[in-house]
Each structure stands twice: as structure tokens, then as C-alpha cells.
Amino acid sequence: MILSKRISQLQPSPTVALNNKAKELAASGETVFNFAVGEPDFTTHPDIVQVAVDALQAGRTKYGPAGGSPAFKKAVVEKLKRDNNLEFTTDEIVVGVGAKEILFHLFLALLNEGDEVLVPAPYWVSYTAQIIAAGGKPVVIPMGDDHDAARLTPEMLEEYATEKTKAVVLTSPNNPAGYIIKKDELTALGQYMENKDWWIISDEIYEYMSYTAEHHSIAALVPGLKDKYLLVNGMSKGFAMTGWRVGYLAAPKPVSKMVKTLQTQSSTCLPPFVEEAATEAIKRGKSLMGDKIKVLEERKNIAAELINSWEDVSMIPPEGAFYVFIDIRKALEASNDYQATESLKFSSFLLENYHVAMVPGEAFGVPGFLRLSYAVANEKLIEGLNRLRQALDKIK
């Protein structure tokens, strides 16, 4: 029998698939250096765990309200004012099973068949798959040759926009490239988009991991964007709560209402004990993580220093999130066995022979790169990078 044509076009998420593969290898007894998945190696703060335990013991194990509990939505409204200088009301907030579900529902809510969404490369793996699943068309804005070309400009948007453009996705701090769109760059993009009839999907899930530049929300810089600004955020990264699956949307009412309707027809709600714990974490804010963000920044510096000392590789300057996007094109090109763009082939070689898992650039629309997630212990980071060096030397 014929299956869905739309869904048949999709591949499993490469970040999730590679993480599973690395975990299988580790389960078979091998020492694996897993830099594949984007998740902090820290555990959730014990105070937050306690809130969930207490709620469970108090019997709060039933369905919660679809779209989010009043306490959760209020905490998000206050957080957006406190951290982002943004004014929202509670009926503009919707909770979801991870930012991933929020994004999926958002694309379903926004897109009609053939509508185009501008997705600047390198991009997080699930945007394009979800846009296709929702009947839309991802229009990838390619990354230029020079590393600064990873930065988006109004000219780049102008070049790829058509009359079918319905939305644009911005991710800052960026996964996989680790760059941050600076205040002046964001303002320029915002001013350009002010007169466009596009939704601006702003994925700010890495906002707390901003090291060399400050994070800004585009609608706080250009208030005229507020009626088309769709903010996506979640607890996974900034609060080390990946497994809890909490994301949220702040959006004008017609959109938030539709996303909530979709939730009533799909996941229904969040487990209430999870939502209670998340509410507490949001209220406590960035300081809940204590020195953890500093630890990540130190690891970034360790990774960047090592990579910078190699002359056949380079990287997009890492400024935020917890990724370094390593350009290995020169090293691959110098090898008889590889083309400059064959990072997928090289990443398999690296995993099989050196037990180092890094996601190849093909997954993010830019072949010839490897994404390193440095949210791992320092010793593992250094040993893993040394192994990468050995693998690059081996193919010379």
C-alpha cells in the first residue's frame, strides 16, 4: 500500500540517529567520544527534580490543561519581560512537548501547500523535515564560502525571497554554527522584514549560552515586528532538561490559538509534574545554572584553541550555544580518498575507527564540516579532538 508521499521524503533525524549509534557502540563496551547530540552533560538542578517528585507524590498525575497551566504561562510572560524585554500576555503562550513539537505545530499552523520558508544554512536538522511534513517548501539560503558568510544579511534574504515566502527561521545563538546574530545585524534584519508579509520564527533555545556577544530578541530591537514575531524557546538547553520535553511558543493570538488546538488533537498536554518543575526553573532563571554556563565557555575555549592550532582545518567563530562547526574541507581535499565535501563519509570513518561521533555538515545543509558538541567533560573533549587529529592525519 502506498504511504504518505510527504513523509516518505523524510530521513530520520541525523543528530538523533548518530547519537543512537554512538550509544549502541558504548553499550557494546567500547569507549566512545560522543560529540554528536546537542545536550548539556549536566543533570537537572536538584531543586527542580524535587518539585517534580513532590508533585508526583501529591498525586498530580492526571492530564493538565492543553496549551499550558496558568502558572507556567505566567512564569513565561514574566521571564520574557525580565530576560528579553518583550511584552506578551498569557493567552499568547503555548507549552509543547519540547521546542521540537512547538516548531512542528507551528509549521502545520502557518503553511499551506507550496508556501516557502527561508532557512539560512547551516540550519538545525529538523526545520527542513518539518516544513516538508507540513506541506511547505524549505528554501535554503546557502552559506557563502567565507566563514563570515554564515551570518545572515538582508541582501541574502532579498535574494531568496519570492512571492511564496511565508516565513523565515532565525536561530541565534546558532545550532550548528555557534554564531550569535549581533544587535546591529539583528536590527538591520528586523528593519528589512518590517514591511514584509512574513512570519519570523525566532528559535532562541540557546539564549543563555551566549559568551562573546549578548543575546537579543529581534522584536525587542524592532518593536514593529511584534505582530509577526513567533518566539520558540524551551527548557532543554538552558536548564539541562532535555529529557523532560518542555518547549514553549510566544506568538500573536491567532497563531498561539491554532498551535494550542493542534496540541489538543495530538499530545494533549504536558505531564503536570513536569510542567510544575519547569515553571519553577523558569522563575529561577539563568542563575539556576550557576557556573555551568562558564564551564561551557571554558570548554569552547579549549576546543577553539586546539582547532585553531591545526592549519588544515578552520571553524566558524564559536560565540554561543555549545557547538563548534569545524570546516574540514581543506583536509579532505588534500586526501586522495575524499572530495572536499565528503564529511558524511569521513564522519563514518571517524566513528568506526576512532570511536568519535560528530555530526557531518551534510545534516545541516553544508557538506565539508563536522559539528562538535562540546557539552562533554574536558578530558573527553581533549582526547576526542586528539583522535580527530589522528583521523585527519591518517587520510592524508
Using CB under 6 A as the criterion, which residues of the chain lie in contact with ligand PMP when the complex forms? 38, 98-100, 124, 171, 175, 203, 205, 234, 236, 242, 247
Residue least distant from ligand PMP (Cβ): 98
Q: Of 13, 261, 314, 386, which lies in the binding site for ligand GLU, with binding defined by CB under 6 A?
A: 13
Q: Select 124 or 354, whichever has its Cβ closest to ligand PMP.
A: 124
Binding flag, residue 175, ligand GLU (CB under 6 A): yes
Among ligand PMP, ligand GLU, none, the one that 203 touches (CB under a kind-dependent 5 to 8 A) is ligand PMP
Backbone torsions φ then ψ of 204, nearest 5 degrees? -115, 30
CB burial readout 212-243, b (16+ within 10 A) else e: ebebbbbbbbbeebeebbbbbbbbbbbbbbbe
Among 232, 239, 234, 237, residue whose Cα is nearest residue 218: 232
The interface mask with ligand GLU, positions 33-72, x = CB under 6 A, is ----xxx---------------------------------
Bond from prior residue into 12 cis (ω within 30 degrees of 0): no
* Closest residue to ligand GLU in the complex (CB): 38
The residues, ordered by sequence, that sit 6+ positions from 58 with a Cβ below 8 Å of its Cβ are: none
Please report which residue ranges of the chain form alpha helices under DSSP H: 5-8, 14-27, 46-57, 70-84, 98-110, 125-133, 154-160, 183-193, 218-221, 253-264, 272-284, 292-308, 329-333, 343-354, 378-394
**CB nearer to ligand PMP: pick between 219 and 232:** 232
- The smaller minimum CB distance to ligand GLU, of residues 157 and 201, is found at 201
Q: Cell 591545526 identifies what position?
A: 310
Contact between 125 and ligand GLU by CB under 6 A: the answer reads yes
251 interface partner picked from ligand GLU, ligand PMP, none, CB below 5 to 8 A per type:
none
In the bound complex, what is the minimum distance in angstroms from residue 324's beta carbon to ligand GLU? 13
Q: Choose the one of ligand PMP, ligand GLU, none that binds residue 16, judging by a C-beta under 5 to 8 angstroms depending on kind.
A: ligand GLU
